[in-house]
Structure 1
Amino acid sequence: MKKSAEIKRLPIINIAEGVELGRVKSLVINPEKGSVDFLTIEHEDWQVSVKAIPFKKVVGIGEYAVTVENENAVIDLNEIPIANQLVNKKIKINDTRVMTRKGQLIGEITEYYVDDENGSVLGLELKVKDEMVILQSEFVLTYGKDIIIVKEDSLNHMKKDISQLDDGVIDAHDEAAAASEKAVTPEDQLAEIKSRQFQLLLGKKVTKDIQESNGDVVIPGGTILSEEHIQSAQEAGPSVFVDLTMSIEA
């Protein structure tokens, strides 16, 4: 398992000839599969076309390099329509906001974890309030360009540590947390979600005017969000609040 940041900028080594083919420039996400399907290559001689390696052609991802059998693993994305379409979708995951299916904002992704054997996205690292938590990829419904949509009960399945990501055993701490969650009312959960929304948006700059359906401006563009601004957007309705969450500087 690797962080995306641990893969980017790694040299790509051709095993057959022992030469460097370039460096990993970016990870191309397949939003339907929830996986990394291609690694794009940064090379000073390839300025016109975009070269990449299908993840299935990767032999291994080590601490110091990505290895492939030979240079035939490299493809031109412009010649592979499906690969080109994935690149143009621009799914980046990192720095993307996370929202539940019913429109509750949870947090923002700071990193994600990849299975270095098959490219599957295993989990997401989120900043929720001032705390970093891990969410397993099985709770993701949609990988979008601007927003990642997760299941409604995702808040109850956050992990404190990456070591718990693929751990199917519930330890004493998890059992205690589960027991505590049973006592939490829907009203408590809603209050917690709203608190997290405040923490995520507070102090951020709005990139455009946030308007109600009748055209009235709720929050002018350029505003640095205060608690009063966020509360006004929440009171104006779900569509206004979602518009606000998608119109702030990262």
Structure 2
Amino acid sequence: MKKSTQINGLPIISISDGNQVGKVKSLVINPDKGSVDFLTIEHEDFQVSVKAIPFKKVVGIGEYAVTVDSENAVIDLNEIPIANQLVNKKIKITNTKVMTRKGELIGEVTEFYVDQDSGHILGMQLKLADKEVALSSESVVTFGKDIIIVKEDVASYFLSSVEELEKGEVDLDEILPAEEVVNPREDEEVRALKEKQIELLAGKTLTKDVYDKNGVLLFHAGTILNSEQIENAQEEGPSIVVELSMNVEA
């Protein structure tokens, strides 16, 4: 388990050649999964576009560096719309207010903790009116841009220390989207994004097999993607679309 401040600013080292790829600039949160999906990179040569590393490409997060197999792990976010969309959501957790679904203000997050192997957000350090507690992500309903929404019985998830976050497994199926009014503009943006993904990927050939989160084969290497297959990938989730985008012939 790592807290966000232990990851931010770390050098990123390529194992294959020992070169420093850059430094971790920020952690990109996927609010639907409750996870860190990408690490953006700070590098003097990366001025024009935003570069990042998918969390699943990270080999290890140590005290002194983040390691990846090679510089091939680095992607250009402008070339992967779904990743770019996550960056533009600007979801942050630290210094964000926490409120129950009934509108009761609980406190404010001072730090959050990440499973260094999977990227899943295990929980947060929460400042209440009279004390600080650790809060398991099991209580989270929505990771929002301005507010984190939690269950009404949030107090039952309070822990006396952050070390306890590692003892229990977070059931990600419990992290459900809040019941919100649908924003028509958001729907239009999502549709436009999906159409752009189809436009970018249709007709391109996969260079490796792609599996779903349960290890079931979705697409064979050598598949020439059509719009129907891309739509199926979109239904599987953003991570599958990213996987396709990273493994097609230019």
The letter of the residue matching 1:128 is L
CA distance in 2: counterparts of 1:157 and 1:47, whole angstroms? 43
Q: Which residue of 2 aligns with 1:134?
A: 134
Length-normalised TM-score, structure 2: 0.66
Q: Which residue of 2 aligns with 1:71?
A: 71
Indicate the structure (1 or 2) with the bigger Cα radius of gyration: 1
Deviations 1:88-138 (A, max 9, x none): 000011110000011000000010000000100000111001411111001
Stretches of structure 1 lacking an aligned partner (at least 5 in a row): 169-250
CA distance in 2: counterparts of 1:50 and 1:22, whole angstroms? 12
Q: Which residue of 2 aligns with 1:10?
A: 10
CA distance in 2: counterparts of 1:8 and 1:167, whole angstroms? 24
Q: Which residue of 1 aligns with 2:220?
A: none
Shift of 1:164: 1.6
For 2:166, what is the secondary structure of its paired residue? Answer: coil
Q: Which residue of 2 aligns with 1:155?
A: 155
Number of aligned positions between the proteins? 168
The letter of the residue matching 2:7 is I
Q: Which residue of 2 aligns with 1:183?
A: none
CA distance in 2: counterparts of 1:18 and 1:74, whole angstroms? 15
- Runs of 4+ in structure 1 deviating by more than 4 angstroms, as ranges, are none
1:87 aligns with 2:87: yes
1:119 aligns with 2:109: no
Deviations 1:151-173 (A, max 9, x none): 000112211111222335xxxxx
Shift of 1:54: 0.1
Deviations 1:186-208 (A, max 9, x none): xxxxxxxxxxxxxxxxxxxxxxx
CA distance in 2: counterparts of 1:16 and 1:71, whole angstroms? 8
Q: Which residue of 2 aligns with 1:200?
A: none
Matches within 5 A, 1:99-118: 99-118=99-118
CA distance in 2: counterparts of 1:84 and 1:163, whole angstroms? 33
Stretches of structure 2 lacking an aligned partner (at least 5 in a row): 169-250
CA distance in 1: counterparts of 2:76 and 2:110, whole angstroms? 30
For 1:87, what is the secondary structure of its paired residue? Answer: helix
Deviations 1:52-103 (A, max 9, x none): 0000000000000000000100000010000000000000111100000110
